Structure 1
Amino acid sequence: MTSTRCSRCRHQGGSEREAAGAFPEEEEVPEYSVQVDGFEPARRGRHVIYTLIIRRGTAHWPIRRRFRQVVKLHEQLLQSFGRSSMKAGLPKLPPKVTCRSVFCGQQDQQFLQNRALQMQEYFEALLRYIPFVDQCEALREFLCSVDVSNMSYDALLDLEQALGRGGPELQVDPALVAALPKRQAFASHLGCCVICQETMEKDEDVRVLPCGHEYHFECISQWIKQCNTCCVCHSMAVAQPDCEDLGST
């Protein structure tokens, strides 16, 4: 795993506080917030899926995570701190096992409700401790890796606007969008367009991006006006002549 130290570590630099994990004099206001919205047993297996609502500004989106994924995030954060005393300031995870879970099982409703409340407290404390999520690779990936197949077009737009692209984008020439290759007529699969959530029928105008992901032409042409990236993998949807010129200089 690539070790990326969060911004709070960089702010302190070589002059770490003697008290491990001490907060700065003026506590940062987190850009992101997490709401543990509920939980449900997985369709397969015996594990439980928690639904988290992530908010940044006016945008919000859902993610679904198992408790073991929260544990993995915590371990990644500990690793990213290395030998820094900052790791001592991370909030504590909810316990993996409690007396109730031993006697009543890991899917006991009261146990799961208590864990959901503890996870809410954990994320609130974590985002106070690491307020600059975009500068902490592991945390940003956890919060912003979403299942786009279950998101509406408006929700996708909100997510793109919330995450940002590091600056203004060039407007894409409609002729370049129109030139996107069509799906081959003999394609056997009928995938779902993640923008409109409708099946892409064989007789419909379906276009293929350079990354290989497919969309209804009407959907992707509207999307590219807002953001020139693939909704699924975030690679460039249409190559810009200006970008190609820059790359060759």
Structure 2
Amino acid sequence: MYTERGSRLAGAVVWTVTPEPPASGPGRVLPDGCMDLLWHEGRLLVAGPDTRAHVTDGDRSPWAGVRFFPGTAPTLLGVPAHELRDRRVPLTDLWPAAEVRRLTARVNAAADPADGLEQAALGRAADAGPPDPLLSGVVAALEAGGPVAETADALGIGARRLHRRSLAAFGYGPKTLARVLRLQRALALARGGIPLAETAARAGYADQAHLTREVRELAGVPPTELPGVGPR
């Protein structure tokens, strides 16, 4: 069972996965522009930004995580997002081993690992300072369906600078980020009961066929095979 709640860290989400019988098969984590700090079997890991669906192996043990708002994790973790693109890595690959051991011990000692992770994220955020407002502006403009060139102009930076900033903050260029955010916008509509043809139009796709192609490319399956999206 998957559950989530809003975090005390602005824009973040705290989540847990507790598998339930009968045994589940592989899962599918879709691109969302985010990065996550993860806890699994007493270990800490980091999930980088995805450009395609991450297929899980149907593991039966619990997971917990903090999902950071797009563009905010690299400052907290101290690593450019593009270095972790489409990867899941132990936190020891990014931070000194002694620091990770201390943090892991605190998370494991918490009554709920998800709460321990949130405390760790809050501590890092306090040391890192406020997020770059430019990045939230990029996300807001692209989530609203704004073209990349217009987004760069509105924010007062050139297209090349926007691309460089996006690679470091989001893990990929603004065009890929726009596709990922549009995917999430479309899935929210479809899971809310909007027919796929109307979803395509409202999310900014040329037509339903365009929506289906994009979902296949980013999610690995057609829309109707995703949870909560029925054949309409």
Fold in common (TM above 0.5): no
Report which of the two has the higher share of helix: 2
**Structure-1-length-normalised TM-score:** 0.30
